[in-house]
Amino acid sequence: MSVTYDVVDGVAWLTIDRPEARNALSKEVRDGLWEGARRFAADDSAAVLVLTGAGDKAFCAGGDLKEMAETSLEVPPPDFLPQFGRNIEIEKPTIAAVNGVAYAGGFLLAQQCDLVVAAEHARFAVSEVKVGRGSPWAAPLSWLVPPRVALEILLTGDPVDAARAREVGLVNHVVPAAELRARTQELAARIAANAPLSVRAAKRTAYLSAEHDRDEAYARAEEIWAPVYRSADAQEGPAAFRDKRTPVWTGR
């Protein structure tokens, strides 16, 4: 198995398990990521997905260049790799736990997650310009980080260390490598403890400004949140506060 899927206290861990090849994106890995993403989307026992890589050297070093050379890959097909929010809809939150280099396709995987927690030794690069490949998937990058930072990342192909990635907003938290799993699980568990309908609506709301002008974003947000306000969970939250107890969410 090149990709594993495990659920720990409501948090699904999707792990690329090919450390001997720096977790490169072979066909087997890509198929496993598709399977895992679909499994998470349908898994009622998992509220948050964490995507990571095995070992301590690479989250994912990108495409398998040997395989690309053998297959003479030109333009990757639309379903070459799951891109959350682009070619597969994942309503629940996703977190990248970056345990080493995240280059090219590895950068893509981290970029497409909602949050990123990085080990101190993690490195990020859109390295396609160094090997003559392409990165159309990096179109959202200038929404995630300032445009001039995005341009430097894309034009040089040079790695960005974890501290710089956090400074420019590409990463949420930088932690010691030995604490990466525990700290990411802790973050995911805090999200998983919240009202699920509110969490999903919050995720959708956050992306509205990337797709619409301000007035349209407000209008879409009102539509997204209306059923949340009318839900049983919206009554459970205040009732639990009144009764000084932990809310019991039903997602309805």
Mean pLDDT of 138-143: 94
pLDDT at 65: 62
DSSP conformational letter for 158? -
3-192 CATH:
3.90.226.10
Give the pTM. 0.94
* Residue-level pLDDT at 71: 62
Please tell me the number of Cα atoms within 13 Å of 104 on its side-chain side. 19
Task: Say yes or no to pLDDT of 152 above 80.
Answer: yes
* Residues 46-84 pLDDT 10s: 999 999 999 999 999 987 666 665 565 667 788 889 999
**Cα angle for residues 247, 251, 252 (degrees, 5° grid):** 105
Give residue limits of the domains in the chain: 3-192, 196-243
187 closest CA partner among 23, 49, 5: 49
Per-residue pLDDT tens for 156-212?
Answer: 999 999 999 999 999 999 999 999 999 999 999 999 999 999 999 999 999 998 889
CA 15 to chain centre: 12
Predicted local distance difference test score (pLDDT) of residue 1: 83
Run of H or E including 200:
helix 196-211
For range 107-136, the mean pLDDT: 94
Looking at residue 77, the DSSP 8-state letter turns out to be P
Q: In angstroms, rounded to a whole number, what is the distance separating the alpha carbons of residues 183 and 231?
A: 32
199-240, pLDDT tens digit by residue?
999 999 999 988 899 999 999 999 999 999 999 999 999 999
Q: Which residues contact 56 (CB under 8 A, 6 or more apart)?
A: 99, 100, 119, 121, 177
**What is the structure's pLDDT at 133?**
82
Q: What is the pLDDT of residue 75?
A: 78
Which two three-digit tokens encode residue 97? 């736990």
Residue 187: what pLDDT?
Answer: 98
Q: Flag whether pLDDT at 249 surpasses 80.
A: yes
Q: Identify the pLDDT of residue 79.
A: 86
